[in-house]
Structure 1
Amino acid sequence: MTKHEVQWRDIVAGLLKVTGVTAGVGLMMNSHLRGGLVRAVNYHATAEADRESLRSHIRYYQRGFANVGVADLKAFVAGGMSLERPGLMITFDDGFRSNYTVAAELLDEVGMKGFFFVPSGFIECAGNRAAARQFVDGQLLEPWR
């Protein structure tokens, strides 16, 4: 992308913001007229070095969204639950150890729920022990012997 293209996009985005179009779209998307929404945000590795950044994300989510757990999601999908604020599922993928040592701890601090997806097998590692070892070292799993 050229510098000229980026500037043009920035100008259009600025105009949409100044005229209130983006705020209006956001209001419409969050409106009860649309029946409420549940969004999902996902993370992969949540490194110790990024703890404070993740903490600020979680606090932002806590202020602006209704945290949705498993039971909440089931009730929402079944139509038995309405949300005052947009719903948000926070997911952590790939079973990284840091999801447990950093993310779960931060969620616990503020009483929020998250979904943790831990793979049950080694994708694309089966024939390569070095790749499998590298994968295991970053996961919450214990290596096999």
Structure 2
Amino acid sequence: MSGTGPEARLAELGISLPEVAAPVAAYVPAVRSGQYVYTAGQLPFVGGALAVTGKVGEGDGLVAPDVAADLARTCALNALAAVRSITGTLDGARVVKVTGFVASDPSFTGQPGVINGASTVLGEIFGDAGVHARSAVGVAVLPLDAPVEVELIVELDS
């Protein structure tokens, strides 16, 4: 990476973080506690709407795993926007934990591959500071029939 931090890397990658997604219930997008920022679960909103809904799996009427991985990427960017709304910058931050939820067809077991969409973009943006612990969980349904949801725990250097 030629940039000096995540903010420079976002610019190098041509990634603009979106506006913070409005909560769909009684919560806030992110909370700081000491050196950590915890995000609420972020859905793959683009421009305030879900482009894709439904369960992830193989077959007709299901969200394809590669599409879901791209949606997980969008969730991660939405989560970073929530972090930045609290901190003002991503510089000096380290991604500690990613939790990803995948609304899965009962026969689908590829949740880790779907959540790689989030993990990969975090690695591209943060480099070594983006290496994180992770859970990828299959669930029956997510809010608004979203295919994926991602939440982050980020550690700050000050």
Greater relative contact order (Cα 8 A, min sep 6): structure 1 or 2?
A: 2
Greater helix share, structure number: 1
Q: TM-score, normalised by structure 1?
A: 0.31
Q: Which structure would you say has the larger Rg?
A: 1
